[in-house]
Amino acid sequence: MEEFKMNYQKMAKEILLAVGGEKNVSSLVHCTTRLRFTLNSESKASDKKIKSINGVMSLVKKGGQYQLVIGNGVDKVYDEIIKMTNLGSSNNSEKEEKKGIVNKILSVITGSIAPMIPLLAGAGMGKVLLLILSLLGILDKSCQTYVVLKFIFDTGFYFMPVFVGFSAAKIFKCNQYLASFICLSMLHPEWMELVSAAKPVYFLGIPLALVKYSSQLVTAILVVWIMSYIEKYVYKYVPEMIKVFMAPLLVILITAPLGFIIIGPVGNYIAQLVADIVLFVQQHFGIVAIPILAAVYPWLVSIGMHKALSPICVMLIEQNGFDPVTRVIALCSNMSQASAALAVALKTKNKELKQIAYSSSVTAFLGGITEPAMYGVNLKLKRPMYACMIGGATAGLFAGIVQLRAFVYVTPGLLSLPMWVSEGSKNLIFAIITLIIATVVTFIFTFIIGFDDPVEDNKEVEYKKDMNNNSISQDILTPVKGEIVPLKDVDDETFASGIMGAGVGIIPNEGKIYAPGNGVISACFNTGHAIGITINGIELLIHVGIDTVSLDGKYFDLLVSKDQQVKKGDLLLEFNMDEIKKAGYDLTTMVIVTNSDKYVEILPTNKNKVNKEDILLTVV
Q: Taking a C-beta distance cutoff of 8 angstroms, is the pair 80, 9 a contact?
A: yes
- Beta bridge partners, 512, equal 574
Helices (H), ranges, 136-175? 144-158, 160-172
CA–CA separation, 60 and 51 (whole Å): 10
CA–CA separation, 467 and 458 (whole Å): 19
Question: For residue 265, what is the enclosing H or E element?
Answer: helix 264-302
CA–CA separation, 452 and 520 (whole Å): 32
CA separation (Å) from 52 to 10, 30, 102, 546?
13, 20, 30, 25
User: Positive or negative, the Cα torsion across 204, 209, 212, 214?
Assistant: negative
CA–CA separation, 215 and 217 (whole Å): 6
CA–CA separation, 295 and 391 (whole Å): 8
Burial label, 404 (beta-carbon count in 10 A; 0-12, 13-18, 19+): buried
One of 30, 31, 388, 524 is an active-site residue; which one?
A: 31
**Total residues found in the chain within this entry:** 620
Read off the DSSP letter of residue 323. B
CA–CA separation, 111 and 64 (whole Å): 10
Relative orientation angle of helices 2-18 and 74-84, to the nearest 10 degrees: 70
- Beta bridge partners, 27, equal 38
CA–CA separation, 592 and 571 (whole Å): 19
Name the residue type at position 180: S
The strand order across the sheet containing 615-619 reads 474-477, 615-619, 602-604
Q: Work out the angle at residue 134's Cα, subtended by the Cα atoms of residues 131 and 139, and round it to the nearest 5 degrees.
A: 125
CA–CA separation, 530 and 556 (whole Å): 10
CA–CA separation, 315 and 21 (whole Å): 38
Catalytic site residue 31? yes
- Beta bridge partners, 507, equal 483
CA–CA separation, 333 and 370 (whole Å): 9
Name the residue type at position 220: A
Which residue, 259, 193, 189, 191, is CA-closest to 220? 259
One of 30, 306, 529, 543 is an active-site residue; which one?
A: 543
The catalytic residue positions are: 31, 543
